[in-house]
Chain A
C-alpha cells in the first residue's frame, strides 16, 4: 500500500514556463512534507518543505502548496530552467520519523 503517490512518472516543460509536480498521500497522520531533487549518480537533495499547519511555503522559484482536506501537495517551479531537470521525490513524515517517499517524477525542462 503506497502511502505517498506521485502519479506522473515523467513531465516535460518548456524552459521559462511553470513546472507543477503533484503528490498525493493517504495517511492523515503525516504532519511534515518535503520535496527532494535527485540527479543521476547522486543522493537526493533537500529542496523545500512544509508543515501541516501551513498551506503554502515559498523559497525563490520553488513553492509548495498543501491541501490537507484533499491530502494533496504540489511543487511549483517558476520559471523552469534546464538545470531543474531531475527526478523529484515527495516525502512525508510523522513527527520527523518514518519518512515515506513517493516513487518520483522525472522532470525534463526543454531549452
Chain B
C-alpha cells in the first residue's frame, strides 16, 4: 500500500460527458502528479501540483483540468469526453513536509482509476 488513494476505482461514462477523478496523497506529501496510461502504452505525464499551485504541465488536453485543494487532495476534471480518453489515470505524490522540494524525490503511485468512455 503506497498510501495514495484514488477514487473511484472504475468509471464508465458516455462521450461528451464530464467526470472528476479524486486523489488523496500520502500524509504530508505536498506534490501531486497526474498520469494517463492508455492501452499498451507508457505513462504520460499530465500535470503536477505542489502545495496548491500548478508546478509543471505535460501533455494535458485543454478539455482536462486539475486542482489541488488546501488539504492537499487533488482532482482531475475531464470534460467533453471522447472514446480516446478511455485509459487508466494514475495519481502519484512525493515530497513530505519539511523536505526540500525538487530533487531526488521518487513518486508513490495510487492504484489508478480506470475510465471507460462508451
Contact = CB atoms under 8 A, between A and B. Distances in A.
Given A49-B104, A103-B42, A98 B111 contact: no
Contact of B33 (A6, A49, A99): A99
A34 B110 CA distance: 17
Contacts of A102: 42
A91 B33 CA distance: 14
Contacts of B25: none
A66 B2 CA distance: 27
Contacts of B112: 42-43
Contact of A98 (B44, B56, B101, B109): B56
B68 interface: no
Contacts of B41: 103
Given A89-B43, A95-B102, A101-B42, 19 more contacts: A36-B109, A42-B111, A43-B90, A43-B110, A44-B92, A45-B2, A49-B104, A51-B104, A95-B103, A96-B103, A97-B48, A97-B55, A98-B56, A98-B58, A99-B33, A101-B45, A102-B42, A103-B41, A104-B42
Interface of B: 2, 4, 33, 35, 41-45, 48, 55-56, 58, 90, 92, 94-95, 101-112
A38 to B, nearest CB: 8
The secondary structure that dominates the A interface is: strand
A46 B108 contact: yes
A2 B110 CA distance: 25
19 contacts: A32-B103, A32-B104, A41-B111, A43-B2, A43-B109, A44-B90, A89-B43, A95-B102, A95-B103, A96-B101, A96-B102, A96-B103, A96-B105, A97-B55, A99-B45, A101-B45, A102-B42, A103-B42, A104-B42
A20 interface: no
A6 to B, nearest CB: 8
Contacts of A89: 42-43
A100 interface: yes
Nearest to B42: A103
Contacts of B101: 96
A86 to B, nearest CB: 13
Contact of B107 (A42, A99, A103): A99
